[in-house]
Structure 1
């Protein structure tokens, strides 16, 4: 996921191509993994702490591709060439956990969400119980947004091209229920993979973020903007 240099590459010249998803970043158990006591903090303001033996239930869990950066369109002649227009940021993803009720560790909330969607493969009931030695980047509420990929892209054919970046964002509502009847409710957000792509304004787009990029950067009426 974040900061490890791996990406999914999507292109408007073909359907979305999925590479291996990033389920975890391996490493030590320092504060950067968002473990309880590692410096992560939530947005809940309740003074009382939630119990340690409660149960999460999730609803309205959604995955959506969000456009984070897009370039201006750039024309290449016969034989193609390198695209050099920089990407401009249009959205900054930020992991977050909002709560109402007894305070919960944001990292524990995201650990539960990660297990719910299959992003985190762990048999541990809680993040605190996970002794696998794996640092789950998905649980880090302090994770920075992926940098925009402004490296030169070379293409072989002529066309009006746009490059773009995005993330696959995950959101969900949760309820944490304790045996004594106390509950904490809230909403959580993080992302699982980074996306990158290039589209030809002269071709129709299938991927949602490619259509968004086309709407922002291609000329009105071009094939890529139809239905966008």
Structure 2
């Protein structure tokens, strides 16, 4: 029995979501308290609204998010009963070393870079009020599948789930030469699969499943490969 994988794209278009503005200010609560009741001419750094993104060190990798314990079925197979346990929670992330566009704008640029977002708009703010789930820095991790898979064969089986995680470094350059650097990460594909400890792993994800759920004598385990 060869392992099987189901992949579902998740970064679909969502209509009518409010777009976060580009302005990012610096300053702390302590400054506000000290200057309460009087004005200040201290300059406040903001991100320019018409800069250019440059992306580098782009990586894409499959990450295991959930895996079950092995379960042996007799002749004819049957419904698997062991639930998956979570081993990793993917979360969108945007970090910058100075005033930068909003996380949504950064993820919009990254989404266009990797082909996850198909839009002629130069920025998310110019996208006509549309947005994509990929641009949501609060996008929740996909739930682990609770459906009972029913293999129609005897053997030892493991259910697993994963995502394709994308990460890259960016540099945002304003027309006046100001730059800010940062890093962004998100996930693009929700996957689920079925494999067995009697099969040799054919991918990094399958090897991770074997390492976590199979004993050392199994063909899928690193020592048994």
TM class by smaller structure: 0.7 to 0.9
Which secondary structure does the structure 1 equivalent of 2:88 belong to?
coil
TM (normalized to structure 1)?
0.84
Structure 2 unaligned regions, length at least 5: 28-43
Give the equivalent residue in structure 1 for 2:14: 26
Secondary structure (helix, strand or coil) at the match of 1:173 reads strand
Stretches of structure 1 that go unaligned for 5 or more consecutive residues are 1-11
Shift of 1:199: 0.5
With over 3 angstroms needed to count, the CA separation of the structure-2 counterparts of 1:130 and 1:21, relative to structure 1, is: same
How far apart in 1 are the matches of 2:26 and 2:61?
A: 29
Aligned to 1:181: 177
Query: Aligned to 2:197, which of 196, 201, 207?
Result: 201
Partner of 1:86: 83
Give the drift of 1:146: 0.7
**Hey, what's the Cα distance between the residues in 1 that align with 2:86 and 2:121?**
37
The verdict on how the C-alpha distance between 1:16 and 1:162 changes in structure 2, with shifts beyond 3 A counting, is closer
Q: Which residue of 2 aligns with 1:13?
A: 2
Residue matched to 2:133: 137
Please name the residue that 2:20 is paired with: 36
Match of 1:8 in 2: none
Deviations 1:48-78 (A, max 9, x none): 2210010000000111100001111101111
Shift of 1:156: 0.6
Secondary structure of 1:150's match? coil
Structure 1 residues 45 and 223 mapped into 2: Cα distance closer, same or farther (>3 Å)?
farther
How many residues align? The count is: 208
CA contact (8 A) 1:84 1:151 kept: no
Out of 92, 95, 98, which is 1:95 matched to? 92
C-alpha separation in 2, matches of 1:76 and 1:136: 42
SS at match of 1:191: strand
Q: Distance in 1 between matches of 2:8 and 2:92?
A: 21
Alignment RMSD, CA only? 2.3
Q: Distance in 2 between matches of 1:92 and 1:20?
A: 17
Tell me if structure 2 keeps the 8 A contact 1:162–1:199: yes
Is residue 94 of structure 2 the alignment partner of residue 106 of structure 1? Answer: no
